[in-house]
């Protein structure tokens, strides 16, 4: 199954490389053609002024200029296609590298809340984390949207989400093309806040009466321009000059408003242009699943939003052109260009600005969803989970999604009777990895995406985990106190409306053996009658003997074996209690104790 994904990506890479070569040749030819037209027009002007002059030749500038502008427009489109194709090639190469086990992007800098029920315990964020593995978001808000999905999975809608991600995954080419558009957008810090602040600040380009002097200025200029073209005399030139100056004075009277808008929107036209292309592609895609339709409706992505973003981008780009002195003088003396564009921006602001935050949130949310769809596409061997109303866990070939396929050791796992499993095992035998495998896949299932298993049926437990509490010197919190506070916080999360599932790894390790054993037994009695199931991993085999007399507990273990001087692990889960401790052997191997001490 993974071979099909690799074949698709390699074919996409080959096509992008071929198209890139063609586009580079086309761009180079257009550059030469554009230069040739300019040279031809300059030569035309030169010969028109030789001798007695041939003023009629200047009219040839009109078709020449039209040809030049057409080439410029075509070249701009070619550059856009080049940028897109180059981005598409990068996406294909990136995914091929990811399938070879390489980390293709820096980890997103996100810190889960210290008291979150499982995120820090299961290594959801940071270098080499689950988020690092899944995320393909280009923007920081998109990566944050994915993090929020992981922190608070929408488990009630797992089926509709599952259908939606499958729908996105199925059209692999569209998925990669959308991501290529996304990859071409700059990740500008504070963009959402900047646009929302602009949307809340009203402005007026100019009052209605201002159209009167604008009309007079334009009518006068074009009248005198035509008269000068027909009879090029000094007496005809000065009225033309005065008309042009009058128009520039009109512009300067509104220059404060123009500068304010330029400052507030700070050269974001190119970013908005990239977003508009993404939205146009998303609008054109008919999403058939209920979740997809609801997503589009929630963020109002069915009503020409891409075109509206394109209009805003073009308006902002035209305001940016005011920085070009020649363009400023020519365009505004002839057309009052920037005044009309400023008025168009005011109209756009009045009609659409209040929706900017909502649309941006939809764009960022889509980045998170496409990351999850891409994760599914890269793992065709993973299965779609089923969440059940009945209390159960029934899993075939459970493993951790971050462990490469050739290194995974999968385990079948069933829980329908005893509420708690006391898990023992020698050091490095796989206890913690098993807990993390179960926890990570439970959350992926509740997010509506694939899990690393062949079959996965589970109740949608609230996951509660304590695996690696940290001391806090700033708050004068010791390691043991941090453990106690963590366990207290988890107990406070228990509720009667939804069963919880504990993942507890070697709790109370910050105290002596007797206290640890008594404290663990006491905690198990505390949670035994509550609305919760769980797995408690421990080295204390005496704790595991609770399963001998209490029907709410069951014992399971991982073991190691010694062959000569080699310590071997098979990482397979077994019923019962571990009887093969290996701490002394490990310490001797690393030279911490000698043979006699062992």
Strand-pair category, 393-398 with 455-458: antiparallel
Q: Please report how the helices 211-230 and 325-335 are oriented relative to each other, as an axis angle in degrees rounded to 10.
A: 100
pLDDT of residue 18: 97
569 strand-pairing partners: 560
pLDDT of residue 327: 79
- Give per-residue pLDDT as tens, 487-545: 899 999 998 899 999 999 988 766 666 777 888 888 888 888 899 999 999 888 888 88
User: For the residues 119-146, what does the mean pLDDT come to?
Assistant: 94
Handedness of CA 222, 227, 228, 234 (dihedral sign): negative
Assign 48 a pLDDT band (cuts: 50, 70, 90).
Answer: low
Q: How far apart are CA 463 and CA 512, in angstroms?
A: 28
Res. 159: pLDDT tops 80: yes
- Write down the mean pLDDT value for the chain: 88
Burial grade of 474 (CB within 10 A; 0-12, 13-18, 19 or more): exposed
User: For the residues 143-157, what does the mean pLDDT come to?
Assistant: 96
Candidate from 205-209, 230-234, 270-274 with smallest mean pLDDT: 230-234
Res. 246: pLDDT tops 80: yes
- Within 13 Å, how many C-alpha atoms sit on residue 350's CB side? 9
Higher pLDDT, 462 or 226: 462
Q: What CATH number does the domain located at 386-589 have?
A: 3.40.50.300
pLDDT of residue 473: 42
User: For the residues 260-273, what does the mean pLDDT come to?
Assistant: 86
The answer to whether the CB of 341 falls within 8 A of the CB of 184 is no
Tokens of 37: 């037209």
Dihedral angle computed from the Cα positions of residues 165, 170, 176 and 182, in that order, rounded to the nearest 10 degrees: -30
Q: How far apart are CA 193 and CA 360, in angstroms?
A: 10
pLDDT of residue 186: 84
User: For the residues 305-321, what does the mean pLDDT come to?
Assistant: 90
Burial 307-321 (b: 16+ CB within 10 A, else e): ebbbbbbbbbbbbbe
Candidate from 337-351, 353-367, 471-485 with smallest mean pLDDT: 471-485
Assign 59 a pLDDT band (cuts: 50, 70, 90).
Answer: low
**First-to-final CA distance of the chain:** 49
Assign 179 a pLDDT band (cuts: 50, 70, 90).
Answer: very high
Other beta carbons less than 10 A from residue 370's beta carbon: 22
User: For the residues 261-267, what does the mean pLDDT come to?
Assistant: 84
Res. 54: pLDDT tops 70: no
Q: Please report how the helices 269-284 and 356-377 are oriented relative to each other, as an axis angle in degrees rounded to 10.
A: 60
pLDDT of residue 41: 76
Q: Which of these, 283, 306, 309, lies nearest to 295 by C-alpha position?
A: 283
Over pLDDT 70: what percentage of the chain? 90
Q: Which of these, 522, 492, 473, 203, lies nearest to 347 by C-alpha position?
A: 203
Q: How far apart are CA 463 and CA 119, in angstroms?
A: 10
pLDDT of residue 471: 47
Strand-pair category, 553-558 with 420-425: parallel
Handedness of CA 121, 126, 131, 133 (dihedral sign): negative
Q: How far apart are CA 172 and CA 57, in angstroms?
A: 56
pLDDT of residue 58: 55
Higher pLDDT, 391 or 480: 391
With 0.95 as the threshold, say if the pTM is over it.
Answer: no
Tokens of 590: 């690393």
Q: How far apart are CA 252 and CA 494, in angstroms?
A: 66
Candidate from 147-156, 226-235, 310-319, 497-506 with smallest mean pLDDT: 226-235
User: For the residues 360-369, what does the mean pLDDT come to?
Assistant: 95
- Give per-residue pLDDT as tens, 74-92: 998 999 999 999 999 999 9
What's phi and psi for 397, nearest 5 deg? 60, 55
pLDDT of residue 470: 58
Cα separations in angstroms, 530 against 389, 465, 495: 18, 16, 9
421 strand-pairing partners: 535, 554
User: For the residues 323-344, what does the mean pLDDT come to?
Assistant: 89
Sheet containing 411-415: give its strands across.
386-387, 455-458, 393-398, 411-415
533 strand-pairing partners: 501
Strand-pair category, 462-466 with 455-458: unpaired
**Domain residue extents for the chain:** 1-104, 135-206+254-378, 386-589
The answer to whether the CB of 167 falls within 8 A of the CB of 287 is yes
Q: How far apart are CA 421 and CA 578, in angstroms?
A: 13
pLDDT of residue 267: 75
3-state SS of 309-346?
Answer: HHHHHHHHHHHHHHHCHHHHHHHHHHHCHHHHHHHHHH
The answer to whether the CB of 380 falls within 8 A of the CB of 5 is yes
Other beta carbons less than 10 A from residue 498's beta carbon: 12
pLDDT of residue 234: 83
pLDDT of residue 32: 94
Higher pLDDT, 17 or 317: 17
Burial 21-33 (b: 16+ CB within 10 A, else e): eebeeeeeebeee
pLDDT of residue 22: 96
Tokens of 429: 């035998």
pLDDT of residue 474: 47
The answer to whether the CB of 301 falls within 8 A of the CB of 362 is yes
Tokens of 175: 């998925």
């Amino acid at each position: 199954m993974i071979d099909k994904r690799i074949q698709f990506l390699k074919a996409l890479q080959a096509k992008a490389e071929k198209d890139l070569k063609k586009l580079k040749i086309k761009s180079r030819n257009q550059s030469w053609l554009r230069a040739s037209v300019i040279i031809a027009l300059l030569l035309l002007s030169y010969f028109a002024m030789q001798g007695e002059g041939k003023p009629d030749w200047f009219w040839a500038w009109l078709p020449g200029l039209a040809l030049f502008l057409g080439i410029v427009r075509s070249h701009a489109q070619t550059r856009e296609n080049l940028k897109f194709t180059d981005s598409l090639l990068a996406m294909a190469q990136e995914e091929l590298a990811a399938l070879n086990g390489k980390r293709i992007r820096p980890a997103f800098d996100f810190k889960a809340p210290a008291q979150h029920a499982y995120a820090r315990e299961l290594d959801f964020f940071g270098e080499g984390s689950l988020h690092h593995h899944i995320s393909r978001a280009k923007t920081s808000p998109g990566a944050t949207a994915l993090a929020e999905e992981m922190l608070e999975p929408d488990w009630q809608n797992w089926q509709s989400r599952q259908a939606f991600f499958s729908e996105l995954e199925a059209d692999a080419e569209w998925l990669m093309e959308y991501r290529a558009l996304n990859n071409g957008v700059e990740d500008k810090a504070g963009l959402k806040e900047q646009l929302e602040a602009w949307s809340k600040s009203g402005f007026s380009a100019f009052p209605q009466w201002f159209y009167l002097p604008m009309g007079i200025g334009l009518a006068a200029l074009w009248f005198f321009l035509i008269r000068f073209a027909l009879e090029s005399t000094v007496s005809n030139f000065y009225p033309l000059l005065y008309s042009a100056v009058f128009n520039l004075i009109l512009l300067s009277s509104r220059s404060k408003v123009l500068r304010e808008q330029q400052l507030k929107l700070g050269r974001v036209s190119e970013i908005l242009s990239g977003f508009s292309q993404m939205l146009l592609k998303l609008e054109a895609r008919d999403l058939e699943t209920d979740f997809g339709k609801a997503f589009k409706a929630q963020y109002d992505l069915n009503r020409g939003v891409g075109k509206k973003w394109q209009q805003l981008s073009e308006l902002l780009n035209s305001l940016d052109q005011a920085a070009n002195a020649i363009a400023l003088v020519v365009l505004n003396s002839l057309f009052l260009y920037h005044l009309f564009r400023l008025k168009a921006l005011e109209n756009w602001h009045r009609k659409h600005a209040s929706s900017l935050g909502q649309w941006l949130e939809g764009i960022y949310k889509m980045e998170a969803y496409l990351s999850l769809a891409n994760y599914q596409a890269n793992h065709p061997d993973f299965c779609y989970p089923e969440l059940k109303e009945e209390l159960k866990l029934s899993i075939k070939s459970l493993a951790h999604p971050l462990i490469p396929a050739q290194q995974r050791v999968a385990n079948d796992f069933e829980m329908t009777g005893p509420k708690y499993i006391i898990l023992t095992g020698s050091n490095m035998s796989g206890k913690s990895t098993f807990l993390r495998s179960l926890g990570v896949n439970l959350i992926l299932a509740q997010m509506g995406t694939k899990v690393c298993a062949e079959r996965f049926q589970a109740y949608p437990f609230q996951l509660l985990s304590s695996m690696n509490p940290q001391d806090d010197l700033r708050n004068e919190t010791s390691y043991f106190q941090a453990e106690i506070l963590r366990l207290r916080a988890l107990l406070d999360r228990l509720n009667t409306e939804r069963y919880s599932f504990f993942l507890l790894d070697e709790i109370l390790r910050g105290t002596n053996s007797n206290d640890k054993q008594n404290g663990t037994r006491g905690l198990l009695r505390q949670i035994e009658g509550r609305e919760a199931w769980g797995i408690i991993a421990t080295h204390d085999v005496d704790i595991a003997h609770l399963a001998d007399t209490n029907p709410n507990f069951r014992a399971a273990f991982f073991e190691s074996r010694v062959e000569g001087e080699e310590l071997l692990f098979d990482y397979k889960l077994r019923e019962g209690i571990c009887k093969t401790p290996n701490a002394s052997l490990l310490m001797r191997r690393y030279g911490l104790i000698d043979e006699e001490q062992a």
